[in-house]
Amino acid sequence: MSVEPLQEKIPRFTVPAIIVLLAGSLFYTVLTTTAIFAWLVFWGGLLSIGLWLAVVYLLYRLVLAVEQFPLRWLSSY
């Protein structure tokens, strides 16, 4: 199982694109006088989905590591 640094997996434009989308949607919310609560619910929902995906990914990596550990330990004998 290879381990790649996070910088190699995520393109460089991802963080600026998220910032532009966040600022653009906030500007649109203020411009159209839409309730700011709707904006908070939308981005809060996306954030919570992202956090749950990160937790599931970390649990997946933990399961892979637990599966690989006995195989490597037994192959050393």
Q: Predicted confidence band at 77 (pLDDT cuts at 50, 70, 90)?
A: low
CA 77 – CA 16 distance, rounded (Å): 49
Q: Which residue has the higher pLDDT, 66 or 31?
A: 66
Q: Which residue has the higher pLDDT, 41 or 11?
A: 41
pLDDT of the residue at 5? 63
Q: In the 8-state DSSP scheme, what is residue 70?
A: H
Place of tokens 């330990």: 73
Tokens coding 22: 């966040």
Does the pLDDT of residue 3 top 70, yes or no? no
Percent of the chain residues past pLDDT 70, beyond the cut = 87
